[in-house]
């Protein structure tokens, strides 16, 4: 018997988006032009409280160019950027491709965002920045992260790929750190078919990103630095401008759907629904509804203890359910290493006895 495939996410493209694309095509100005400039201005005003906004061709490009624009240095050593162990590969890739090293810290098992205690444990003399991910539209613990960053003189970056419109006490994500990056991939809160946006309160950083996205030019053929071609097209921006008008309504629908799912699953034994720490004034976009269920009644499979050990963990251990059982690191180069002096038994997220030995991703994590 055949079954209809139900996609996890599907972009909503209507007559307004098609008409906007047709108008751009008829104009003859299809690459970066007036539509991109207008989209940047409108996104800035609606989503990030007037911060600078620079449109690019993907969310990954947004992260990559923003990281490049920061010109990370660690006194001759390879600079390290702390990122969550539970995120899409682009978070770590965009750090690594700049020549820096992504160092993976654990997540909070309730919110799925960076655990501040794990971040602090991962800081070394070569750490230059912390990159948070506002996963599934829920803002990370920004007060704690910013306090750690200030104390250690580190920059803070924000991956806002799923968090268009999320905020803490009215302050939108993408405005807390040195920069924020948004994605407009078709499965995100809104789409430009493919695209991304860098947001920042720093005018000079915004200018560097504009140069980097366009072969190092602001004026044609006046190359100021070595750049790339990561421009957004006017076709994509035209779609984005239409979608942006619908974003707030879609966000409220997502929140209502999440509330309905919360209520419907509340009485189901063993099911944990997404947590939103309302006491902190946090508002989520409910881009994904990541619920957790009880383990299957079948025999317990071999377990890999978080990202820190290659050995099996006892069934009674308590740790982040999102990194547990994952094939991580995802390459055969993974290897166990000695327990560093800064790794305390109490910091082991899975509370193994004896404590886990740090697991490393050769070439990308701690040697």
Task: Check whether 288 has a pLDDT greater than 90.
Answer: no
Report whether 64 contacts 266 (CB < 8 A): no
Please say whether the beta carbons of 131 and 159 come within 8 A.
Answer: yes
> What confidence score (pLDDT) does residue 124 get?
97
CATH number for 24: 3.40.640.10
Provide the whole-model pTM. Answer: 0.81
Q: Is residue 1 part of a domain?
A: no
Whether the pLDDT of residue 341 is over 70: the answer is no
* Percent of residues in the chain assigned helix, strand, coil, to nearest 5: 30, 15, 50
Residue 300 has a pLDDT of: 52
Look up the domain containing 349 and give its range.
296-362
pLDDT band at 338 (very low <50, low <70, confident <90, very high): very low
Query: In the listed set 228, 244, 260, which residue is the last one of a domain according to the structure?
Result: 244
Domain identity same for 182 and 314 = no
Mean pLDDT, residues 194-219 taken together: 97
Q: Which of 240-244, 287-291, 337-341 has the lowest mean pLDDT?
A: 337-341
Question: Residue 14 pLDDT > 50, yes or no?
Answer: yes
pLDDT beyond 90 at 272: no
Whether 302 and 229 share a structural domain = no
**139 lies in a domain?**
yes
Residue 186 included in any domain: yes
Q: Are residues 35 and 165 in the same domain?
A: yes
**Structural contact between residues 276 and 286, judged by C-beta atoms closer than 8 angstroms:** no
pLDDT computed for residue 26 by the predictor? 97
Query: Predicted confidence band at 298 (pLDDT cuts at 50, 70, 90)?
Result: low
261 pLDDT band, cuts 50/70/90, is very high
**Of the candidates 64, 59, 81, which has an alpha carbon nearest to the alpha carbon of residue 160?**
59
> What pLDDT is attached to residue 55?
98
d(CA 159, CA 197): 11
Residue 230 pLDDT > 60: yes
302 with 237, same domain?
A: no
Same domain, 187 and 301: no
Residue with tokens 């720490």: 277
| Strands, E assignment, the chain | 52-56, 80-84, 101-105, 127-133, 155-159, 167-168, 171-172, 179-183, 196-200, 282-283, 335-336, 359-360
- What is the tens place of the pLDDT at every residue in 43-60? 999 999 999 999 999 999
Average pLDDT over residues 328-351: 36
Question: What's the rounded Cα separation, in Å, for the pair 95 and 91?
Answer: 7
Determine which of 15-24, 107-116, 266-275 has the lowest per-residue pLDDT on average.
Answer: 266-275
Joined tokens for residue 14: 């209507």
| Position 235 pLDDT exceeds 50 | yes
What φ, ψ does residue 279 adopt, rounded to 5°?
Answer: -60, -20
CA atoms within 13 A on the CB side of 339: 10
Distance CA 206, CA 297 (A): 53
**Quick check: is 288 in a domain?**
no
Say if residues 292 and 272 touch (Cβ distance below 8 Å).
yes
- Per-residue pLDDT, 356: 46
Tell me: the pLDDT tens digits for 136-170?
999 999 999 999 999 999 999 999 999 999 999 99
Asked whether residue 304 falls in the same domain as residue 237, the answer is: no
d(CA 306, CA 321): 8
Please indicate, yes or no, whether residues 96 and 224 belong to a single structural domain of this protein.
Answer: yes
In a domain? residue 98:
yes
pLDDT at position 335 over 50: no
Q: How confident is the model at residue 306 (pLDDT cuts 50, 70, 90)?
A: very low
| 240 and 301 part of one domain | no
Which of the residue ranges 39-43, 234-238, 362-366 would you say has the lowest mean pLDDT? Answer: 362-366
Give the C-alpha separation, 365 to 333, whole Å. 11
- Does 208 lie in the same domain as 79? yes
Residue 94 lies in a domain: yes
Q: What is the mean pLDDT of the chain?
A: 83
pLDDT band at 270 (very low <50, low <70, confident <90, very high): confident
Residues 238 and 340 in one domain: no
Domain count, the chain: 2
């Amino acid at each position: 018997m055949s079954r209809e495939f139900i996609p996890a996410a599907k972009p909503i493209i209507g007559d307004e988006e098609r008409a906007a694309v047709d108008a751009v095509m008829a104009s003859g100005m299809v690459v970066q032009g007036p539509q991109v400039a207008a989209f940047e201005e409108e996104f800035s005003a609606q989503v990030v409280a007037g911060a600078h906004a620079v449109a690019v061709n993907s969310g990954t490009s947004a992260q990559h160019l923003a990281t490049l624009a920061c010109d990370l240095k660690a006194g001759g050593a390879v600079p390290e950027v702390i990122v969550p162990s539970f995120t899409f590969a682009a978070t770590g890739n965009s750090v690594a491709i700049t020549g820096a090293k992504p160092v993976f810290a654990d997540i909070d098992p309730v919110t799925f965002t960076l655990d501040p205690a794990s971040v602090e444990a991962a800081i070394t003399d070569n750490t230059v920045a912390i990159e948070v991910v506002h996963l599934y539209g829920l803002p990370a613990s920004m007060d704690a992260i910013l306090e750690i960053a200030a104390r250690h003189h580190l920059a803070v970056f924000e991956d806002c790929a799923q968090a268009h419109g999320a905020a803490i006490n009215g302050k939108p994500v993408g405005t807390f750190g040195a920069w924020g990056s948004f994605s407009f991939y078709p499965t995100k809160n809104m789409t430009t078919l493919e695209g991304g946006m860098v947001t920042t309160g720093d005018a000079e950083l915004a200018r560097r990103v504009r140069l980097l996205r366009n072969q190092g030019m602001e004026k044609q053929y006046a190359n100021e630095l070595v750049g790339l071609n990561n421009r957004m097209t006017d076709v994509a921006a035209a779609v984005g401008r239409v979608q942006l008008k619908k974003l707030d309504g879609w966000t409220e629908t997502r929140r209502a759907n999440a509330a309905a799912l919360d209520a419907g699953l509340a009485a189901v034994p063993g099911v944990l629904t997404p947590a939103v720490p309302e006491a902190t004034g946090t508002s989520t976009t409910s881009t994904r509804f990541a619920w957790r269920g009880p383990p299957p009644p079948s025999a317990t499979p071999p377990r890999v203890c978080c990202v820190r050990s290659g050995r099996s963990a006892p069934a009674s251990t308590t740790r982040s359910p999102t990194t547990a059982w994952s094939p991580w690191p995802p390459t055969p180069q993974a290897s166990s290493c000695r327990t560093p002096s800064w790794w305390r038994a109490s910091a082991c997220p899975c509370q193994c006895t004896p404590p886990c030995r740090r697991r490393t991703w050769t070439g990308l994590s701690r040697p």
